[in-house]
């Protein structure tokens, strides 16, 4: 069975600086050889610190931007080779919702207008039936039909995210990319939206790419997890396997930074030493080598390939086979290094990229957020 979505060797470098003659002199290697697939009706979580390239991958998958290299196949067809009609059909099949629903909902349109727009655009429902369909959509996301006449500012953050979800659902998509959909919401609202997304997946057979800087958020929604660091995937596995026994030193550090709810379930935190590197000038060899507690000489020069074992658990690390078992993760007896503090902050929730939260790996501000 072919997957719903297959991504192969995606590359996207942005020009970060030019000479006085306009020649590019520096690139942000935002996405640097990313491959994964998403099965119909399943959730792939794409996790990593702010600036590691998650949103760029999302935009590449939807073909909102063109890749420098690599392929995206949807239902077996190469998106790069689609004609206008086929691309239009794809734009119906694949939707996106963002971190900040307020920014993505037109403040001058009522909910009814917001939800009718895609119906009209794709000529899905006859004009006479659209009102009914709007009510159906609102019910689907747990909002009352009478809300149709209201404007976005009349809703709470969680309700606005429900409206954004309803708009995505209007065109009956097969895939929704959820780019940090709960990162801007109050912690108390997050699980409601996550539950809604899961419920909709069950009822409608949707596939998700669920983008998050917060591993804890992903734990309850992902079927498969891909961990990204500086534009590359360092580990990909079924969610259960990854959460039970992460293999890559970076994934282990991220997991050790998730707060443990039960006090008796102690977990040691891995202290990452070294400077936070930048996507503007990623380190040679393994991109994690400047922070990895297990670094050896080879890591500084040789890029580790992402290799899967027989179970489909893939790791990009020269030392996968030699690393200690997860239970023996190096204990953090000497407190936390500044790098780990930043890492914990980045994964501790809050608004991505907001004050004191996300760690931008680029060292520069994104031109397009
Ligand atoms: N349009 C752009 N121009 C230049 N740099 C960009 C652009 N979009 C993203 N970047 C850079 O690419 C890197 C990855 O960004 P992004 O995909 O937004 O990361 P994430 O979603 O994981 O936080 C960052 O270093 C960001 O600054
Ligand atoms: S390849 Fe080397 S530096 Fe990279 S994660 Fe593995 S041990 Fe660490
Ligand atoms: Mg992002």
pLDDT digit string, tens, across residues 176-185: 999 999 999 9
- If asked whether residues 39 and 169 sit together in one domain, one would say yes
Measured in angstroms, how far is the CA atom of residue 17 from the centroid of ligand 1? 14
- If asked whether residues 49 and 172 sit together in one domain, one would say yes
Q: What is the CATH number of the domain that holds 10?
A: 3.40.50.300
Q: Which two tokens stand for residue 147?
A: 């809300």
- The burial class, CB within 10 Å (0-12 / 13-18 / 19+), for 130 is middle
Q: Tell which one of 304, 321, 322, 323 to mutate to probe ligand 2, the residue whose CB is within 8 A of the most ligand atoms.
A: 304
- If asked whether residues 304 and 271 sit together in one domain, one would say yes
pLDDT for position 330: 36
Torsion angle, CA of 288/234/200/115, rounded to 10 degrees?
60
Please check whether residue 206 lies inside any domain of the structure.
Answer: yes
According to DSSP, residue 326 is labeled G
Q: Which of 222, 240, 269 lies at the terminal end of a domain, its last residue? A: 222
% pLDDT > 70, the chain:
82
Sheet bearing 69-74, strands edge to edge: 24-38, 5-18, 69-74, 77-78
- If asked whether residues 276 and 213 sit together in one domain, one would say no
Indicate whether 285 pLDDT > 70: yes
Indicate whether 122 pLDDT > 70: yes
- Buried b / exposed e along 34-72 (16+ C-beta atoms within 10 A): bbbbbeebbbbbbbbbbbbbbbbbbbbbbbebebbebeb
The residue segments making up the domain with residue 318 are: 229-322
Q: Which of 167, 192, 222 lies at the terminal end of a domain, its last residue? A: 222
Q: 42-46, 95-99, 265-269: which range is least confident on average?
A: 265-269
Measured in angstroms, how far is the CA atom of residue 262 from the centroid of ligand 1? 36
- If asked whether residues 213 and 239 sit together in one domain, one would say no
The model's pLDDT over 334-345, given as tens digits with 9 standing for 90+, comes to 334 444 445 445
Q: Which of 203, 222, 241 lies at the terminal end of a domain, its last residue? A: 222
With a Cβ cut-off of 6 Å, ligand 1 is lined by 14, 28, 30, 48, 50-56, 279, 362, 364, 366-368
Q: Which residues contact 222 (CB under 8 A, 6 or more apart)?
A: 43, 44, 45, 210, 239
Indicate whether 116 pLDDT > 70: yes
- Split at pLDDT 50, 70, 90, the class of 98 is very high
* Residue whose token pair is 């200690």: 324
* Alpha carbon nearest to ligand 1 atom 9, residue: 366
With a Cβ cut-off of 6 Å, ligand 2 is lined by 248-249, 286, 288-289, 292, 294-295, 299, 304, 317-319
């Amino acid at each position: 069975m072919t997957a719903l979505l297959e991504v192969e060797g995606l590359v996207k470098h942005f020009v970060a600086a030019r000479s006085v003659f306009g020649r590019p002199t520096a690139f942000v290697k935002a996405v640097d050889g990313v491959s994964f697939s998403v099965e119909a009706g399943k959730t792939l979580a794409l996790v990593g610190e702010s600036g590691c390239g998650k949103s760029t991958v999302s935009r590449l998958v939807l073909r909102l931007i063109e890749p420098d290299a690599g392929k995206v196949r949807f239902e077996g067809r190469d998106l790069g080779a689609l004609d206008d009609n086929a691309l239009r059909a794809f734009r119906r099949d694949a939707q996106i919702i963002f971190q900040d629903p307020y920014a993505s909902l037109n403040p001058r349109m009522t909910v009814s207008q917001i939800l009718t727009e895609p119906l009209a655009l794709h000529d899905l429902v006859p004009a006479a039936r659209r009102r009914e369909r709007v009510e159906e959509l609102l019910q689907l996301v747990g909002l009352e039909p009478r809300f149709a006449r209201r404007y976005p500012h009349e809703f709470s953050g969680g309700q606005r995210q429900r409206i954004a979800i309803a708009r995505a659902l209007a065109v009956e998509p097969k895939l929704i990319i959820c780019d940090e959909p709960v990162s801007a919401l109050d912690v108390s609202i997050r699980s409601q939206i996550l539950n809604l997304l899961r419920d909709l997946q069950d009822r409608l057979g949707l596939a998700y790419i669920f983008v998050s800087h917060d591993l804890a958020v992903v734990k309850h929604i992902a079927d498969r997890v891909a961990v990204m660091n500086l534009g590359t995937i360092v580990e990909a596995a079924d969610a259960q396997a990854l959460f039970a026994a992460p293999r890559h030193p970076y994934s282990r550090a991220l997991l050790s930074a998730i707060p443990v709810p039960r006090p008796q379930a102690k977990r040691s935190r891995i202290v990452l030493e070294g400077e936070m590197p930048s996507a503007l000038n990623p380190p040679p060899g393994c991109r994690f080598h400047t922070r990895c507690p297990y670094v050896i000489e080879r890591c500084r020069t040789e890029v580790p390939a992402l290799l899967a074992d027989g179970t489909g658990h893939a790791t990009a690390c020269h030392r996968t086979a030699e690393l200690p078992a997860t239970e023996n993760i190096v204990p953090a007896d000497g407190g936390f290094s500044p790098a780990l503090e930043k890492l914990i902050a980045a994964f501790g929730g809050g608004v991505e990229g907001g004050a004191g939260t996300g760690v931008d790996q680029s060292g520069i501000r994104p031109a397009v957020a």
